């Protein structure tokens, strides 16, 4: 009787994980939308209602206010899609698009699904990304934009709506079950909430913090305090620098 040996084929790729605000786009989409408000500012009592760690709830109140003031979907879309991309980012996304056989690409963002969809669609960059993890948003029957927390988690370092490390680990585990094994993870971000996933990275991985922003300053401070990262750290100010490093990685 013939013995049948099952062969498991594993795809080997590099995983690129991106933050969105101040990384792919050169501003914060949640604060940019305030341009739609009367006099382009929020009432003081609304501004003062923000509690640390509860940004998504705060943005829910901002969207409610904008809706109450008669700001509609088309105006919000025009405003959001006018946001500039970070320098060199269009070139970087085009480079990734041409090399999708070597890279998988995801976004993990504290923005919301509506804003990210609008921006990627307007620039024809939807196909660059295999998955977008962010706070789900939708317009309700009265035309108000509503937003919910992405998930619940137990990490005490992250805002209660999103731990990017939990998202990253779950995605990698799920991909492995599908036969996709990542040779390296490259994490590109700028903010304080990008620190948690960066600390998960291993020796072969690369953290790419944007120069002059919170993540790079924190990693620099950790290095000076002899709390070095296990991964390699490569700071950037233009997407063109990221292209150069990715070209180096795929030639290795």
Q: How far is CA 37 from the centre of its chain?
A: 25
String of DSSP letters for 90-157 = HHHHHHHHHTTTTEEEEEEEEEEHHHHHHHHHHTT-GGG-SEEEEE-EEE-TTS-EEE--S-----TT
Contacts of 42 (CB under 8 A, 6+ apart): 34, 62, 65
Instruction: State yes or no: pLDDT of 73 exceeds 80.
Output: yes
Whether 146 is in a domain gets the answer no
User: Which residues does the annotation mark as catalytic?
Assistant: 19, 21
Sheet arrangement for strand 131-135: 131-135, 103-112, 11-18, 180-189, 206-209, 232-233
Q: What is the pLDDT of residues 85-113, one digit of tens each?
A: 999 999 999 999 999 999 999 999 999 99
Q: How far apart (Å, rounded) are the C-alpha atoms in residues 74 and 42?
A: 20
Whether 62 is in a domain gets the answer no
Q: Which domain holds residue 127?
A: 11-27+85-135+152-250
**Domain count within the chain:** 1
Contact criterion met (CB below 8 Å) for 75 and 99: no
Instruction: State yes or no: pLDDT of 9 exceeds 70.
Output: no
117 is in an annotated binding site: no
pLDDT class for 7, splitting at 50, 70, 90? very low
Average pLDDT value for the chain: 93
Of the given ranges (36-40, 52-56, 107-111, 188-192), which has the lowest mean pLDDT?
A: 52-56
Q: How far apart (Å, rounded) are the C-alpha atoms in residues 112 and 134?
A: 5
Residue 240: which CATH number? 3.40.50.1000
> What value does the mean pLDDT take over residues 133-139?
97
Looking only at the bridges linking them, the beta strands covering 11-18 and 180-189 are parallel
Whether 38 is in a domain gets the answer no
* pLDDT reported for residue 228: 74
Q: What is the pLDDT of residues 206-247, one digit of tens each?
A: 999 999 999 999 999 998 887 778 899 999 999 999 999 999
* pLDDT reported for residue 10: 65
> What value does the mean pLDDT take over residues 163-182?
95
Whether 178 is in a domain gets the answer yes
> What value does the mean pLDDT take over residues 166-192?
96
> What value does the mean pLDDT take over residues 155-165?
91
Contact criterion met (CB below 8 Å) for 97 and 128: yes
Whether 47 is in a domain gets the answer no
* pLDDT reported for residue 12: 83
Whether 174 is in a domain gets the answer yes
Instruction: State yes or no: pLDDT of 5 exceeds 50.
Output: no
Q: How far is CA 61 from the centre of its chain?
A: 22
130 is in an annotated binding site: no
19 is in an annotated binding site: yes
**pLDDT > 70 fraction of the chain, expressed in percent and rounded:** 96
Question: Per 3-state DSSP, what percentage of the chain is helix, strand, and coil (rounded to 5)?
Answer: 40, 20, 40
The candidate with the shortest Cα–Cα distance to 192, out of 214, 165, 168, 210, is 214
Secondary structure letter of residue 21 according to DSSP: B
Residue 232's H or E segment, with its range, is: strand 232-233
Instruction: State yes or no: pLDDT of 248 exceeds 80.
Output: yes
Whether 41 is in a domain gets the answer no
> What value does the mean pLDDT take over residues 22-49?
96
Contact criterion met (CB below 8 Å) for 104 and 76: no
């Amino acid at each position: 009787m013939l013995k049948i040996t099952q062969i498991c084929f594993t795809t080997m790729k590099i995983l690129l994980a991106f933050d969105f605000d101040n990384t792919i786009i050169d501003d914060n989409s949640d604060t940019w939308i305030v341009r739609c408000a009367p006099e382009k500012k929020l009432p003081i009592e609304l501004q003062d209602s923000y509690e640390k760690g509860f940004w998504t709830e705060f943005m829910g109140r901002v969207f409610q206010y904008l809706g109450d003031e008669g700001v509609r979907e088309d105006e919000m879309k025009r405003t959001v899609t006018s946001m500039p991309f970070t320098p060199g980012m269009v070139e970087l996304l085009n480079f990734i698009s041409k090399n999708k056989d070597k890279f998988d690409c995801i976004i993990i963002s504290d923005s919301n699904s509506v804003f990210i969809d609008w921006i990627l669609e307007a620039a024809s960059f939807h196909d660059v990304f295999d998955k977008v993890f962010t706070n789900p948003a939708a317009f309700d029957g009265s035309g108000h934009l509503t937003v919910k927390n992405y998930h619940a988690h137990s990490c005490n370092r992250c805002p209660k709506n999103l731990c990017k490390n939990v998202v990253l680990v779950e995605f990698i585990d799920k991909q492995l079950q599908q036969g996709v094994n990542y040779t390296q993870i490259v994490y590109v971000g700028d903010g304080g909430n990008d620190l948690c996933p960066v600390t998960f990275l291993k020796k072969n991985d690369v953290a790419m913090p944007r120069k002059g922003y919170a993540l790079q300053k924190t990693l620099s401070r950790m290095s000076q305090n002899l709390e070095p990262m296990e991964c390699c750290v490569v700071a950037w100010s233009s997407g063109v620098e990221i292209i150069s490093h990715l070209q180096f990685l795929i030639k290795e």
